């Protein structure tokens, strides 16, 4: 069970989390830092790096106040509260030590790691106060990176299981998301939002029955609730469908985060701490069920049409085109081709000028800005009849610039004008769901 920053964002929220964990049986609980803390620690690191000592001191003081107040609200037993304050005193003294020494990337990673150490320390004390049979594990004793910076899954599996075997009678293990050690044994992390990754790695390492990601939304919705009324949570998604949706900023896990779960064949369930009885969304490997599941849209897309008189029957044209984007480190998201031209989309115009210049040397280029990719996800295997027709039909009053279908079994993407986005999302919901 992994709880994100807002789920542990206050003493009350921490109590709710423990209420959910309490009845869950044998469980490993992964916590993020309290919401805002990781950002504060990154700001703090910036200040220390720039030698702004007064500002840094103030930030540490503010954090200390916040955590002491949280401890006060969380803990009722005087001895436990005193223990929390003593632990906070140690942690904040350690943080203040960074003000007087050289500060680089290594130190920044150490400082940022305090977010998860703080949240788990407080929740562990609260669990103990409540008399739960629980134990706090230090994630840095088993979460490791390989020399190329990827999670060392063999190491994690071996060491985590070794630790767990030492405590056969413990019901609830608690540990930090996000933080780990690198191959040299130094403090490191799994990048922003990395607690989901921790949960997925741990679930895979222990062969969990299920990996639960608890946030404050009731799973993945079938359309964007900001623009469409009456959206509903998708109950089941295939891992591939989740991966297609991830690009669209749909509130869902990053695809690399769920890979360990996917390969270990462990379902990932998205649940809502504010509404724990709701079924949420479960992401797993079972075959999709001949339905269209969800619609999502991504803004700020630029389409580039590249036409060449030489493309007719030629080979190597696409390679030349793609090489230019690669050279300028610009990912291409959507592609459609015809015999005489190709259209691609990008979501980052940083290198658009040089890209256009180089493309123009061998082709005719036109650019459409302020476009939106609308993505329809579901069981869109080509032999299923009619699904693509339904999607296109739903959008018949909207001008469509590109359609991409058949790239995977799970999606159709359409490129439209930003001005048509809301209407398109509404029409899709109306016709498909």
Are 266 and 207 a contacting pair, CB within 8 Å?
yes
Region 190-209 residues binding ligand ASP, contact defined as CB under 6 A: 192-195
Please name the helix (run of DSSP H) or strand (run of DSSP E) that holds residue 108, with its range, or none.
helix 105-112
Of 17, 113, 145, 177, the residue at the interface with ligand ASP (CB under 6 A) is 177
With the C-alpha atoms ordered 31, 32, 35, 40, is the resulting torsion angle positive or negative? positive
Of 32, 134, 176, 215, the residue at the interface with ligand ASP (CB under 6 A) is 32
Which conformational region is residue 294 in: left (phi greater than 0), alpha (psi within -120 to 50 degrees), or beta? beta
Please name the helix (run of DSSP H) or strand (run of DSSP E) that holds residue 125, with its range, or none.
helix 114-129
- Cα–Cα distance between 198 and 176 in angstroms, integer? 8
Q: Which two tokens stand for residue 382?
A: 């080509």
Beta-ladder partners of 137: 175
Nearer to Mg ion, 257 or 346 (CB): 257
115 interface partner picked from ligand ASP, Mg ion, none, CB below 5 to 8 A per type = ligand ASP
Nearer to ligand ASP, 115 or 341 (CB): 115
9 interface partner picked from ligand ASP, Mg ion, none, CB below 5 to 8 A per type = none
- Cα–Cα distance between 402 and 373 in angstroms, integer? 9
Please name the helix (run of DSSP H) or strand (run of DSSP E) that holds residue 368, with its range, or none.
strand 364-378
38 sits near ligand ASP (criterion: CB under 6 A): yes
Binding mask 131-150 for ligand ASP (x = CB under 6 A): --------------------
Of 193, 255, 276, 279, the residue at the interface with Mg ion (CB under 5 A) is 193
9 sits near ligand ASP (criterion: CB under 6 A): no
Nearer to Mg ion, 4 or 151 (CB): 4
36 sits near ligand ASP (criterion: CB under 6 A): no
Nearer to ligand ASP, 194 or 288 (CB): 194
Give the count of beta carbons closer than 10 Å to the beta carbon of residue 228. 19
194 interface partner picked from ligand ASP, Mg ion, none, CB below 5 to 8 A per type = ligand ASP
- Pick from 38, 3, 7, 27: which is nearest to 109 by CA? 38
- Pick from 411, 387, 381, 372: which is nearest to 243 by CA? 411
Return the exposure string of 22-43: e unless at least 16 CB atoms fall within 10 Å of the residue's CB, then b.
eeeeebbbbbbbbbebbebbee
Q: How far is the CB of 242 from Mg ion (least distance, A)?
A: 16
Q: How far is the CB of 132 from ligand ASP (least distance, A)?
A: 23
Contact region with Mg ion (CB under 5 A), list: 65-73, 163-171, 185-193, 394-402: 185-193
- Cα–Cα distance between 254 and 248 in angstroms, integer? 11
Nearer to Mg ion, 4 or 288 (CB): 4
192 interface partner picked from ligand ASP, Mg ion, none, CB below 5 to 8 A per type = ligand ASP
Q: The sheet that has 27-31: what strands, in order across it?
A: 134-137, 172-176, 27-31, 2-3, 211-215, 268-272, 281-284, 236-238
Are 217 and 251 a contacting pair, CB within 8 Å?
yes
Nearer to Mg ion, 139 or 346 (CB): 139
203 interface partner picked from ligand ASP, Mg ion, none, CB below 5 to 8 A per type = none
Residues 6+ apart with CB under 8 A from 69: none
Contact region with ligand ASP (CB under 6 A), list: 59-67, 188-196, 243-251, 415-423: 188-196
Binding mask 84-113 for ligand ASP (x = CB under 6 A): ------------------------------
Q: How far is the CB of 198 from ligand ASP (least distance, A)?
A: 8
Of 2, 4, 6, 21, the residue at the interface with Mg ion (CB under 5 A) is 4
Q: How far is the CB of 321 from ligand ASP (least distance, A)?
A: 36
Of 14, 20, 27, 33, the residue at the interface with ligand ASP (CB under 6 A) is 33
Of 178, 214, 239, 325, the residue at the interface with ligand ASP (CB under 6 A) is 178
Helices 239-246, 255-263: inter-axial angle, 10-degree rounding = 170
Contact region with ligand ASP (CB under 6 A), list: 148-156, 158-166, 189-197, 299-307: 189-197
38 interface partner picked from Mg ion, ligand ASP, none, CB below 5 to 8 A per type = ligand ASP
Q: Which two tokens stand for residue 161?
A: 């299981």
- Cα–Cα distance between 382 and 155 in angstroms, integer? 41
Which residues of the chain form contacts with Mg ion (CB under 5 A)? 4, 193
Which residues of the chain form contacts with ligand ASP (CB under 6 A)? 4-5, 32-33, 38, 115, 177-178, 192-195
């Amino acid at each position: 069970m992994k709880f994100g920053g807002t789920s542990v964002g206050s003493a009350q929220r921490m109590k709710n989390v423990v209420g959910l964990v309490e009845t869950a049986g044998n469980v490993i609980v992964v916590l993020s830092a309290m919401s805002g803390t990781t950002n504060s620690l990154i700001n703090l690191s910036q200040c220390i790096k720039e030698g702004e000592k007064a500002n840094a001191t103030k930030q540490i003081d503010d954090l200390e106040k916040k955590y002491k107040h949280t401890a006060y609200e969380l803990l009722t037993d005087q001895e436990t509260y005193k223990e929390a304050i003593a632990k906070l005193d140690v942690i904040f003294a350690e943080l203040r030590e960074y003000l007087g020494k050289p500060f680089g990337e290594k130190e920044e990673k150490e400082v940022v790691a305090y977010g998860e150490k703080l949240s788990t320390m407080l929740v562990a004390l609260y669990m103990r106060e409540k008399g739960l049979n629980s134990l706090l594990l230090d994630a840095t004793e088993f979460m490791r990176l390989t020399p190329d910076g990827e999670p060392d899954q063999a190491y994690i599996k071996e060491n985590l299981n070794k630790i767990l075997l030492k405590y056969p009678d413990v019901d609830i293990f608690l540990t930090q998301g996000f933080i780990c050690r690198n191959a040299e044994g130094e403090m490191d992390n799994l990048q922003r939002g990395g607690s989901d990754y921790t949960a997925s790695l741990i679930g895979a390492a222990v062969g969990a029955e299920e990996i639960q990601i608890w946030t404050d939304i009731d799973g993945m919705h079938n359309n964007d609730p900001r623009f469409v009324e009456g959206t509903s949570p998708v109950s089941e998604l295939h891992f591939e469908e989740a991966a297609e949706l991830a690009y669209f900023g749909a509130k869902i896990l990053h695809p690399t985060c769920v890979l360990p779960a996917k390969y270990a064949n462990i379902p990932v369930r998205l649940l809502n701490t504010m509404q724990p009885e709701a079924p949420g969304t479960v992401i797993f490997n079972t075959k999709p069920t001949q339905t269209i599941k969800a619609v999502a849209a991504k803004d700020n897309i630029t389409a580039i049409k590249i036409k060449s008189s030489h493309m007719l029957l030629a080979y190597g044209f696409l390679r030349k085109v793609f090489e230019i984007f690669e050279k300028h480190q610009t990912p291409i998201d959507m592609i459609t081709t015809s015999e005489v031209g190709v259209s691609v989309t990008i979501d980052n115009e940083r290198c658009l000028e040089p890209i256009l210049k180089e493309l123009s040397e061998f082709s005719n280029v036109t650019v459409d800005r302020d476009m939106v990719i609308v993505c329809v996800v579901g069981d869109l295997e080509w032999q299923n009849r009619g699904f693509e027709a339904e999607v296109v039909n739903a959008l018949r009053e909207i001008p469509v610039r590109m359609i991409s279908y058949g790239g995977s079994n799970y999606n159709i993407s359409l490129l439209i004008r930003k001005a048509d986005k809301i209407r398109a999302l509404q029409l899709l919901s109306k016709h498909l769901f």
